Structure 1
Amino acid sequence: MVAVAILAAGRGTRMKSDLPKVLHSLGGRSLVERVLNSCFSIQPSRRIVIVGYRGDLVRESLQSDTDVEFVEQTQQLGTGHAVQQILPHLEGFEGNLLVLNGDVPLLRPQTIKMLLQTHTENGNAATILTAHLPNPKGYGRVFCDGQNLLKQIVEDRDCTPAQKQNRRINAGVYCFHWPSLAEVLPRLKAENDQQEYYLTDAVNYLEPVMAVDVEDYQEILGINDRKQLATAYQILQTRVKDDWMAAGVTLIDPDSITIDDTVQLEPDVVIEPQTHLRGQTVIQAGSRIGPGSLIENSQLGEKVTVFYSVVTDSVVAAGTRIGPYAHLRGHVNVGTGCRIGNFVEMKNTTLGDKTNVAHLSYLGDATLGNRVNIGAGTITANYDGVNKHPTHIGSNTKVGSNSVLVAPVTLGEDVTVAAGSVVTEDVPKDCLVIARSRQSVKHGWRIKSQKDETAGG
């Protein structure tokens, strides 16, 4: 059995924010969410998050994950002190404890699995994750024997010139045999400049302790300020985009594209420059997205094209063309083979198959059938100042340019709405509706000028 403890009590003063550091977002997920997700592959029996500064916000952010336990660290007195807080909660637990940091979000699941496997196969009292940094200045150095058994950890300021040549550092990620750790935790002392209890001190009381090197040192980079958050995002983006290109997705200009790691893409999807894919987005094979588009929490079918447009919280079926400068939001559902064109906005609207809304239109709270054509400049007036109202348009109906459909209103099938109409009442099927004033022409009429008025006097 293995339990996981995530240290998430600190404020993160260098972030310059009232938000706890572990709740800052990285690629669509909070830092602590990423750390929790990295543990799924080892199937822990317990997952404990140690909270402190604004712990209520951390609890609230993770409330949908009902298996997470929370332990309060009312005073932040170091990593050793944080783990001391879980002593009562793991009383009688005989397994291993994996200790992770809530502000180290780039650890790969396979790294955690390797750490745990090394720990259990060797029967270690503790196993620490280490990394070889290009510039280890400021980090404590880890010294081991030929079998990777720990000999000592020397702080940077205490290293001799020869010891500083060692680039192996402590990553701050540990796996402990819990009964052994529980025995030594009460013996920790705050005999240092910070007057804090360090988990590294517990390692000195345990034996055997083994070090495991992480393959990519970038995995253990922590987040302490906004610049490091941006660096972590770039690392995450490189991983995500490399994986998708290896899976058969074309990224025309990877440096100008961003893709959340929650997004799912199929082979032969093409992503154009300056395009951003967010949240729970799924894009099926053969679709072409961008340039200059944002897709968020939406599902796009096969061979969909989106050009200079925004699609959020919507579903678009196969073969539909969107853009340029279209905006779909608030649960739009588009059928197959549709055309949504220049400067069209749609909200909470459903389109049937082969329906076109090509130019300068707004459809809100509307349901359209198949093969409907919406002329340029048409809007649904769905809001009366208090409530929203629906518009229903039957299949094969054609709405002329510059028309207003005042909701609630229903147009039947095979209806033609004359251009410039303001439709306020329901229209039965197979009709022509003309809702505009008759044209009046006054011959010889012109606006009187000031000169004419003077002459007439």
Structure 2
Amino acid sequence: MLAVAILAAGKGTRMKSKLPKVLHPLGSKSLVERAIESCNTVKPDRTLVIIGYEGDKIENAINHLPEVEFVEQKEQLGTGHAIMQLVPYLEDFTGDLIVLNGDVPLLRPETIEELVKTHQKHNNSATLLTAHLPKPKGYGRVFCDANNLVTQIVEDRDCNDAQKQNHRINAGVYCFHWQSLKEALPKLTTNNDQQEYYLTEVVDFLNPVMALDVPDHSEISGINDRCQLAVAYDILQARVKEAWMKAGVTMIDPDSITIDETVQLGMDVTIEPQTHLRGNTVIGAGCKIGPGCLIDNSIIEDNSTVLYSVISDSKVSTNTKIGPYAHLRGGVELGENCRVGNFVEIKKSSIGNKTNIAHLSYIGDATLGNQVNIGAGTITANYDGVNKHPTIIGDRTKTGSNSVFVAPVTIGKDVTVGAGSVITHDVPNDSLAIARGKQRVIEGWKKS
């Protein structure tokens, strides 16, 4: 059996925030969510999150994860003290326990898997991740023999000058034989600079304890302030973009592009500079996105183009062109071979195939058929000050420039609407609708 314990009780004062440190977002997920997900590959039987400061906020934020149990650490007296809180919860547990910090979000699942395999292969009492840092200041140093068996761990603040020359650091990620660890916990002391119970001291009471070096030390980077959070985001983005480029996606100026790891991209997609893809977005094969786009929780199907536009919670079908400066939001469903042009906003509407909304229009709470042509400046006036109302426009209808449809209203198929019309009543199929004041010309008039 295997359990995971996530340390998430600290204040994180250097974040200068009312939000607990482990709840700060890194891309689309919080730090603590990423720590939990790094252990998914090893399929733990139990996942326990140790909370303290603002623990209710942490619990509320991640209680949607069904596998998580919460353990309260009322006083924050060190990492060893945090693990002591697990004893009542794991009283009869006989397997191994992974321990990691909730502010270490870049661990690869493969690394955790290798940690567990190494631990079980050698029948270790404890196995810990280590890394060789060029600048190890601030990290506890790990001292090993020729077989990578740990002889001593010394916290940075407790190191003497000679010990500080050792660049192998403790990543704060462990795999323990739980029953051995439980027997060692009462032996921990507070004989250190911080007068806390350090979990690292258990190596003095466990045997064997082995170190496992991580080749890429960026994986074990912890987050203590906003600067480190930004660096971690850069590392995460580099991983995501490298993987997609190797999978057949072209990125023009990758440094200016951001892509959540929840995004899916098809082959031969081109992403132009200053484009940002968020949430559960799916971009189909052959699409060209950007420059200057934000697409969030949306589907863009094959061979579509989006230029300088914002799309959220919407679906765009194949061979459609959007932008520049269009905004689709709130559940738009756009058909195939459509054109949505300059300064067009569409909200919560269904648009049929081969329909054009070329420029300067607002379409809200509307259903448009196939091959509709929306003239420049067309507005669906969907809000009466209290409620939203629908507009329905049938196939092949054409609206003149500066038309206004005062909802609720239904326009039939093959209708032509004269420019400048304000339509307040339903229009039947095969009609010409004109609703505007008669033009008057007064010759010889001038302002007195």
The TM-score by the shorter chain falls in which range?
A: over 0.9
- Separation (CA, whole Å) in 2 of partners of 1:157 and 1:442: 91
Report the alpha carbon displacement of residue 161 of structure 1 after superposing the two structures with TM.
4.9
Q: What corresponds to 2:438 in structure 1?
A: 438
Give secondary structure in 2 for the equivalent of 1:34: helix
Query: What secondary structure does 1:176 align onto?
Result: strand
User: Is the 1:11–1:19 contact (alpha carbons within 8 Å) kept by the matching residues of 2?
Assistant: no
Which secondary structure state, in structure 1, belongs to the residue aligned with residue 233 of structure 2? Answer: helix
Q: Which residue matches 2:148?
A: 148
- TM-score when scaled to structure 2? 0.98
Structure 2: any 5+ residue segments left out of the alignment? none
CA apart distance, 1:441 = 1.7
Cα 1:283–1:221 change in 2 (3 A) is: same
Which residue in the other structure is 1:25 paired with? 25
Q: Measured at CA, do residues 259 and 103 of structure 1 come closer, stay the same or move farther in structure 2, by a change above 3 Å?
A: same
Task: State the match for 1:340 in structure 2.
Answer: 340
Q: Secondary structure at the match of 2:172?
A: strand
Preserved contact between residue 368 and residue 394 of structure 1 (Cα < 8 Å): yes
Decide whether the 8 Å contact of 2:397 with 2:414 is kept in 1: yes
| Residues 160-205 of structure 1: per-residue CA shift (max 9 Å, x gap) | 5554332111111000001111112122222223221111012221
1:236-270 per-position Cα deviation (integer Å, ceiling 9, x unaligned): 11111111111110001011111111111111000
Q: Deviations over 1:266-315 (max 9, x none)?
A: 11000001111111111011000000111111111001101011111111
How many angstroms apart in 2 are the aligned matches of 1:244 and 1:98? Answer: 31
Residues 38-80 of structure 1: CA distance to partner in whole angstroms, max 9, x if unpaired?
Answer: 1111011001111111111111111221221111111111111
Deviation at 1:117, TM superposition (A): 0.5
Root-mean-square deviation (Å): 1.1
Partners in 2 of 1:156 and 1:354 — Cα distance?
66
The worse-fitting range, judged by mean Cα deviation, of 46-55 and 338-347 is 46-55
Is 1:58 aligned to 2:58, yes or no? yes
> TM-score, normalized by length of structure 1?
0.96
Could you tell me how far 1:159 is from its partner in structure 2? 4.4
1:111 corresponds to 2:111 = yes
Counterpart position of 1:451: none
The total of aligned residue pairs comes to: 448
Matched with 1:329 is 329
1-side partners of 2:369 and 2:175: how far apart? 60
Matches within 5 A, 1:18-417: 18-157=18-157, 159=159, 161-417=161-417
Uncovered stretches (5+) of structure 1, i.e. residues with no partner: 449-457
The answer (yes or no) to whether the contact 1:400–1:420 under 8 Å persists in 2 is: yes
| Partner-residue secondary structure (3-state), 1:128 | strand
Conservation of the 8 A alpha-carbon contact between 2:158 and 2:193: no
Instruction: Measure, in 2, the Cα distance between the counterparts of 1:333 and 1:201.
Output: 59
Whether the 8 Å contact between 2:157 and 2:193 is mirrored in structure 1 is: no
SS in 2 for 1:427: coil
Which stretch of the first structure deviates more once superposed, 146-155 or 293-302?
146-155
CA distance, structure 2, for counterparts of residue 428 and residue 288 of structure 1? 40
The answer to whether the Cα contact below 8 Å between 2:352 and 2:370 also exists between their aligned partners in 1 is yes
After superposition, the C-alpha distances for 1:359-399 in whole angstroms (9 at most, x for unaligned) are 00001111111111100000111111111111111111111
Whether the 8 Å contact between 2:158 and 2:192 is mirrored in structure 1 is no
Q: Secondary structure at the match of 1:232?
A: helix
Identical counterparts, % of pairs: 68
Per-residue deviation, residues 199-227 of structure 1 (Å, max 9, x unmatched): 10122211100000011000001000000
C-alpha distance after superposition, 1:88-131 (max 9, x if no partner)? 11111111000011000000000000000000111000001000
Distance 1:62 1:158 in 2: 36
AA at the equivalent of 1:380: T
| 3-state SS of 2:243 partner | helix
Structure 2 Cα separation of the partners of residues 331 and 34 of structure 1: 29
